[in-house]
């Protein structure tokens, strides 16, 4: 079946949830999971999916999980998705640093009187930032544009298709059905 990467990511999450439910059913199940109870030689029917069936379900779910994870991982590697995501995160950090620096990029002049020897003198202190606000704001704008462009690339790539050997019905069949 061919599906978009976006759908594959959703399906991956759904498969993981199915695995979690099967594991939970096994972990919190009763002794009835592991065998059949007999009373006076007569089989006592219980409405519990047996351990061997659960292991089959779990094995199938694991194989779907591994396959879809590998396909997504290969796709991400071949299209440098992780590199693009890391760049976006770095740009966002850069923006936060630059935005914080805006508070400190004001020219400042302060005047004070100090007594030097027997004389009182006016001392003028000045602060001149190494970059002006306009330059910093330009850098922020540029980084935001870069983020948008990278996100567009990722969104476009995520609409491409990958192929998996199972379909939605196969994943749906991984539910725990005690009526068998």
Structural domains in the chain (count) = 1
Beta strands in 117-160 (DSSP E): 119-127
Confidence of residue 169 (pLDDT cuts 50, 70, 90): very high
Q: Model-level pTM?
A: 0.74
Q: For residue 178, what pLDDT is reported?
A: 55
From CA 74, how far away is CA 8, in angstroms rounded?
13
How much is the average pLDDT of 152-163?
96
- Return the half-sphere exposure (C-beta side, CA atoms, 13 A cut-off) of residue 8: 28
How much is the average pLDDT of 86-102?
97
Q: Is 80 exceeded by the pLDDT of residue 25?
A: yes
Can you read off the two tokens belonging to residue 112?
Answer: 């004070």
Closest CA to 47 of 63, 68, 65, 25: 25
Q: Are 102 and 87 in contact (CB under 8 A)?
A: no
Domain that residue 160 falls in:
2-172
How much is the average pLDDT of 38-66?
86
**Residue 23, domain member (yes or no):** yes
Q: Are 57 and 177 in contact (CB under 8 A)?
A: no
Q: For residue 143, what pLDDT is reported?
A: 98
**Residue 9, domain member (yes or no):** yes
pLDDT: is 23 or 87 the higher one?
87
**Residue 49, domain member (yes or no):** yes
**Residue 179, domain member (yes or no):** no
**Residue 42, domain member (yes or no):** yes
**Residue 177, domain member (yes or no):** no
């Amino acid at each position: 079946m061919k599906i978009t990467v976006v759908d594959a990511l959703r399906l991956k999450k759904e498969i993981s949830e199915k695995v979690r439910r099967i594991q939970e059913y096994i972990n919190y199940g009763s002794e009835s999971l592991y065998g059949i109870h007999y009373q006076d030689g007569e089989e006592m029917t219980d409405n519990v999916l047996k351990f061997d069936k659960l292991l089959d379900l779990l094995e199938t779910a694991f194989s779907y999980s591994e396959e879809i994870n590998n396909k997504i991982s290969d796709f991400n590697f071949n299209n440098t998705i992780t590199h693009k995501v890391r760049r976006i995160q770095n740009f966002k950090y850069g923006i936060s640093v630059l935005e914080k620096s805006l508070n400190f990029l004001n020219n400042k002049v302060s005047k004070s009187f100090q007594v030097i020897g027997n004389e009182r003198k006016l001392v003028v202190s000045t602060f001149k930032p190494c970059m002006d606000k306009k330059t910093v704001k330009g850098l922020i704008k540029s980084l935001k544009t870069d983020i948008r462009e990278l996100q567009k690339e990722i969104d476009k790539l995520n609409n491409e298709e990958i192929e998996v050997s199972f379909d939605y019905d196969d994943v749906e069949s991984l539910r725990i059905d005690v009526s068998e």
